[in-house]
Structure formats: structure tokens, C-alpha cells
Structure 1
Amino acid sequence: MTKRWGITLPVAGLSIADQKELVASLPDLGYTDVWSAEADETDAFTPLALASAWAPRLRLGTAIVPVFTRGPATLAMSAATLAAAAPGRFALGVGTSSDVIVEHWNDIPFEEPYKRVRDTVRFLRAALRGERVDETYETFAVRGFTARLVPEEPPPVLIAALRPGMLRLAGREGDGAIVNWLSARDVRTIAPYVRERDPAKEIVARIFVMPGADSETARALGRRMITAYLNVPVYRAFHEWLGRDDVLGPMWRAWGEGDRRAALRAVPDEVVDELVIHGPAEHCRERINEYVDNGVTTPVIHLVGDPKDPVRAVRDLAPDG
């Protein structure tokens, strides 16, 4: 299998309009993939649409599109459009997102997330093949939808997964899993669930990286990121399952009591160092390769901390340095 090496778009520290030259240079630097995210910044599809024209050799992926915040037909049309614009180069990553994004920001009930993902993937398989869908699923119904734009090659559908149920779904009904907020050693825990039936299933890992950052700076930002994310119920449950009750328990208790400063102080250095890679670029590349050694198919760098020179950071983190 060809070694993959990806980066998240848009690259932190550059406006979207200023990314063209950098994105165009990625294949020559050794990057094979660009993946987008969708939370509180850009949508998932627009950065990839731009990249499809700027760098026609790159594989494009969404990591992820929430299944709750778009209707099934709208999601299918968006995916089909990008798959048609970049034949054979697009992978659709979908997932539940979180109750914060779905309920608090979009005023949509976050109900039966596992079933919603399962039903959406089943619908997408049919819709992206151009089939007429008239189906009542457990979590929604689609009446008489037929996509008029059908890509010649339906894109693979990957599922964002954290714990065993969704990880198994990603391996059983998806083309693989998308994971984040885990250490390299955690990959050994999640990979067997994804590959229970098929050892070739893809695992995409979004990895937080701060190249060139000193430990004090990286840990200060890492603590803020960890308290913001790992107190969200789905991520807390993930790390409880991974066995971090002892090391993150004090943070969870302080957060639950409303003491945000104590929660920050309670995050151990070793947890930050596991989950947010930092230091010289060569060290960062070595740490990223540990994820690959433990079972990740596609590492996807997510630059954090608004690097002073994002172009240099991307070049320094290229697979061959």
C-alpha cells in the first residue's frame, strides 16, 4: 500500500484565499492527502473544492461532515458533486459530531447518534450509486429521492468513530474509520475493532501538531484544547474507555464543579505530550510515524497554535523533511 501523508485544510495561519500556492506545492513535498474539518470555522466541502483545482494529484477527504446538520439528500448531492469534480480522488467522512455542535449550535436534537450514522451510510451507498431511495430508516425517512448527478466512481465512505460500537460499524458498513484525540499507543486499542472482518480497512487519524513549539508553550495550549474537547461527553466517554480515568479524573471533577482554572491545572504534562505533538519538526515526524507503525493508514496533520510561518511548518513536516 502506498504510504499516505495528509494535512488539514485550511492550513492554520493563512487565509483561504492565500492557500493556493501552498496547496499546489503539496504533492511535490510528498503529501498525498488533504482533509477538511467542520466545526466552527469552514464548512467541509469548500476548501476541498478549491484544492481539487489547485492540486489535481491530491486525494481529498472530509473529516468529518456531521450527519445531523445536513439533510440526507443534501449530503449526498454535496458528496456527489465533489466526487464528480475529482474522480477517484474524494473520500467522504461522516460522523455524529457532538452534542455541542448539533444541539447547542444548530438547535437539532442529538438523538440516537449510532443509528443516525448507520442509516445515513446506508442511504448514501444507495444514493451515490444513483438508485431511487424510498425508504423509512430508524432515524429518518427519504421519499422518492434519485440523484441526478451520479459520480462514475462512488466515493468511499468512512465513519468517524471512538468506541467499539462505532468502530465496528466503520469496519462493517464503512470503508474505514476516522479517529482523533488519541495517542499513537491508543491506535493499538482501536484498530482491531475496525479491522475485525477486513484487515485492509482504512484508518485515518487527525493528529494535532505544533512544530517548533517549546514545551511550555505547547503544553499551555494543549491544556486549553484538552479541557475544551475532552469534557464534551462523547470524548470523555472515549478516554474513559481508553483507561484515562486516573489521569483525567481530576480535570473532569474540577470541570464539573465549575472551576475552569483548576481543570486546566489538573491536566498532566504526559497527557498533553501524548495527544498534542510538539517540538522540532524531525521529532514531530517521528511521532506521526508512530501512529502509522501502530496501524494508522492515513495520518492527517492538523496544525494548531497559529504558527508564525505556516508555509515553513508545512514544508518541515513533509514526510521526507
Structure 2
Amino acid sequence: MSMRWGMTVPLGGVPLADHAAVFTALADAGFTDAWSSEVAGTDAFTPLTLAAAWEPRLRLGTAIAPVYTRGPGLLAMTAAALAETAPGRFQFGIGASSPVVAGDWNAAEFVKPFARSRDTLRFLRGALAGELVDQEFSTFTVKRFRLERPPAVPPRIMLAALRPQMLHLAAAEADGVILNWLSAGDVHTALAEIKDTGPDFDVATRIFVVPTDDAAYARSIGRRLITSYLTVPAYAAFHRWLGRSEILAPMWQAWESGDRKGALAAIPDSLVDELIVHGAPDQVRARVRVYADAGVTVPVMALLPTPELERGGFSALMSLIAALGRPA
């Protein structure tokens, strides 16, 4: 079948040096894609470089490489190197990230995220095609930059987007869009903003999964994630746009007052169950498939800890990967 099926890498509890077995298990289970992230764990590129070398069956993607934490030229060089390592298999996902990642942790000035994302996308389009870029963009200026090793197969460039303005930019100028922190039922709202794209336009979505029958455990993890992410201004605005102002208001109010326990308690089970996929592996796989049925072309699981993985270790992880594999 043509449907793609992704996993976020690296997986927790497994050193990068031991991920060869992980990548093989993913490909054997029918996973077509390995996608990285970049927050405060590994960088976005090293895990994919290992995957490129160890498992040629997997397609690779960054979700995302922030547009503030590397200069434009370095961002192009890093993407070009990975595209050369995995010709035709690499999709380059970029995005604004957040004030914490860009500013608090990387000493960058997080200003004009839409304009910076647009300018970086336009710069990368030319640079990765091997063109000489000598241009004053609205948020930075590049003087006479040309890649010494432009990739023979330039990567498809995807843009992380939440609300209409960024979604429209992705539809107009990128090869695909990366969505995050939405339910399967929300997919149609996002896709309504990019309905004029062509058949080759990719829609990747990261989906947090907790494959366990212990619903209380899964919801506890889910609540902690929701308070970590949906209190960030961009994600808060995103969920207001999706229509969740009323259900999230008590959490936001508690968080703003410094009441962290109150914020966790204010999140109803129903919201956790919408945004965090949990249950037995076959139930998780079926719920992820719903995202694909709604129009997501690359559903990408982000595997969270479970009691079973904590007890069973690496062998349990290998069994779980097989159980979560692409449905027939």
C-alpha cells in the first residue's frame, strides 16, 4: 500500500550508538519514515544521518529544524549534506520553533517568526538548488552564498504551520506542511486552509502515542505534555483557533497564576484522549490510521514511555515496534 507510516527518532532509553537495530526493526515493521525533532535532546540531523547509513529503506525528515538557531548558510549546508547522504530520501522540515528554544536556550532573537520562516524558505529553495544567493531578505541579508556541494537531488522543503497565515505560506511556497498538537478531528480545519495544493503536497503530523492499557498512566503523561506545550503562546493561539478556548481556559488561568498542580487538574480526560493517542498497540495503530484517513499523508508517531517499556526494556521495545507497524 502507498500510505506512509512514520516514527519519531531517536527512541527514548536507547543510546544513539545502538539505534541500528531500532531502524531495522522500524523498516521490518513497515514503517516508511523516520522523523527527528529538535528541542533539548538530540539535534535534528545526527539521528537521521545514522538512519541514512544504517537503514536505506527509510525515508527521513526533520520536524523541525528551527530557522533561528542556525545561520541560513549553515542550515543549507547541513541539509545539503544529509540530502547527499540519502539521495531522494530526505525531506527538510523547518519552522519557527518557540521563544524558549530560540531565545532562552540558543541566544537568538525570536522576532517576526512568520517573516523569518518565509525568508528562510525562500533562501533555502535557491541555495539547495545550487544557485548563487545574494539578496537582502526582510529578516536577514545573504551576500554571495553558493553551496560548494549542492545535492544532486535537492530535498523537498516542508514548513511547520499552525494557523492560517503560516498554512497559506506552506501551501504557496513549500512542498509540504508539518502539523503538530492536533486531534484527528482537527485535521480538516487545518487542511481547509491548504486545499488548493497539488497531489504531491505532503502533510506530515506528529502524533503523541502511549501504547498502554493503563489509561491513568497515559493521561498523567498527557496532562504534563499539554501543560508544557499548550501554554506556549503559539500553541495557545492555535487551540483558540481550533475552538478550545473554553475547555482550556481553566488550565491557562491556573498556569498564569503559578498553580502548576491546578493547571494539570484543570485538563479533562476528554481533552487528553483527543490529543494523546493511547490504548493497546492495535488501538493506537487504528487511531493513527484515522489521521491518515482525514488527509494526513505522513502520520508520524512520537512514542512516549509506558509501564510495559519500563519493565521490559529493549526487547519490549522491539516487540512494540512490530505491533505498531503499518497496517495492511
Give the TM interval when normalised to the shorter protein. Answer: over 0.9
1:153-172 correspondence to structure 2 within 5 Å: 153-172=153-172
Q: Which runs of 5+ in 1 are unaligned?
A: none
Q: Give me the whole-angstrom Cα distance separating, in 2, the residues matched to 1:185 and 1:148.
A: 45
Letter in 1 for 2:327: D
Partner in structure 2 of residue 277 of structure 1: 277
Partner in structure 2 of residue 78 of structure 1: 78
Q: Give me the whole-angstrom Cα distance separating, in 2, the residues matched to 1:155 and 1:265.
A: 44
8 Å CA contact 1:14, 1:310 repeated in 2: no
8 Å CA contact 2:212, 2:218 repeated in 1: no
8 Å CA contact 1:171, 1:198 repeated in 2: no
1:247-266 correspondence to structure 2 within 5 Å: 247-266=247-266
Q: Give me the whole-angstrom Cα distance separating, in 2, the residues matched to 1:25 and 1:224.
A: 29
Partner in structure 1 of residue 38 of structure 2: 38
Partner in structure 2 of residue 300 of structure 1: 300
Deviates more, 1:79-88 or 1:8-17: 8-17
8 Å CA contact 1:60, 1:90 repeated in 2: yes
8 Å CA contact 1:13, 1:310 repeated in 2: no
Partner in structure 2 of residue 186 of structure 1: 186
Partner in structure 2 of residue 89 of structure 1: 89
Q: Give me the whole-angstrom Cα distance separating, in 2, the residues matched to 1:213 and 1:11.
A: 20
Deviation at 1:125, TM superposition (A): 0.6
| Cα deviation digits, residues 174-223 of structure 1 (max 9, x gap) | 01100111000000100121233435421000000011241100111110
1:131-280 correspondence to structure 2 within 5 Å: 131-280=131-280
Deviation at 1:310, TM superposition (A): 2.2
Letter in 1 for 2:326: P
| TM-score, normalised with respect to structure 1 | 0.97
Deviation at 1:43, TM superposition (A): 0.2
Deviation at 1:311, TM superposition (A): 2.0
SS state of the match for residue 186, structure 1?
helix
8 Å CA contact 2:204, 2:299 repeated in 1: yes
The answer to whether residue 326 in structure 2 is matched with residue 313 in structure 1 is no
Deviates more, 1:76-85 or 1:194-203: 194-203
Letter in 2 for 1:178: I
Q: Give me the whole-angstrom Cα distance separating, in 1, the residues matched to 2:285 and 2:25.
A: 19
Deviates more, 1:23-32 or 1:250-259: 23-32
Q: Give me the whole-angstrom Cα distance separating, in 2, the residues matched to 1:213 and 1:234.
A: 32
Letter in 2 for 1:313: L
8 Å CA contact 1:66, 1:95 repeated in 2: yes
SS state of the match for residue 12, structure 2?
coil
Partner in structure 1 of residue 106 of structure 2: 106
Partner in structure 1 of residue 313 of structure 2: none
1:35-74 correspondence to structure 2 within 5 Å: 35-74=35-74
Q: Give me the whole-angstrom Cα distance separating, in 1, the residues matched to 2:111 and 2:288.
A: 35
Letter in 2 for 1:34: A
Deviates more, 1:299-308 or 1:201-210: 299-308
8 Å CA contact 1:44, 1:65 repeated in 2: yes
Partner in structure 2 of residue 25 of structure 1: 25
SS state of the match for residue 185, structure 2?
coil
SS state of the match for residue 19, structure 1?
helix
Letter in 2 for 1:264: L
Q: Give me the whole-angstrom Cα distance separating, in 1, the residues matched to 2:302 and 2:197.
A: 30
Identity of aligned residues (%): 51
Deviation at 1:301, TM superposition (A): 0.7
8 Å CA contact 2:25, 2:321 repeated in 1: no
